[in-house]
Amino acid sequence: MRPVDLMVRLEWVAAAVAAIILYKMTGVPWWLFALLILAPDLSMLGYLAGPRIGAVTYNALHILVAPLVLALAGVLFGAPITTAVALIWIAHIAIDRALGYGLKLPTGFQETHLGRIGRDRTGAAG
């Protein structure tokens, strides 16, 4: 792994840790975290309709825009459960990126904006 790739992954680890710490601060029970941490991956069901639709549905739940807006709404409206759900979603995305999983390309599930899953940037088996 190139040093720059390691630095980017460490940034995502830090984002995941921050989301988890902030989640604890909401006071919402941990069972909700356990229940929802993998929920964004239900978007993979879009691949049943083909790789193009699958990439769209997967990416829609794996970009930070929506959970950041949801977190802001939760804070502004004093809704700790809304904030907690957003933080779980952010943690999920950050953990995915830290593990090297990126947004999907329409060419197939294994093809991401970070490269092919299971291969490093040089094309060698990872």
Per-residue pLDDT tens over the stretch 62-108? 999 999 999 999 999 999 999 999 999 999 999 999 999 999 999 98
Residue 125 in any domain: the answer is no
Query: What confidence category does residue 113 fall into, taking pLDDT thresholds of 50, 70 and 90?
Result: confident
Nearest 5°: the CA angle 101, 39, 115 is 10
Residue 45 in any domain: the answer is yes
Taking only the tens place, the pLDDT of each residue in 32-53 is 999 999 999 999 999 999 999 9
Domain count for the chain, please give it.
Answer: 1
Query: What confidence category does residue 112 fall into, taking pLDDT thresholds of 50, 70 and 90?
Result: confident
User: Structural domain of residue 12, as residue ranges?
Assistant: 3-116
Residue 126 in any domain: the answer is no
> Which pLDDT does position 125 carry in this prediction?
45
Residue 124 in any domain: the answer is no
Is residue 25 predicted with pLDDT exceeding 80?
Answer: yes
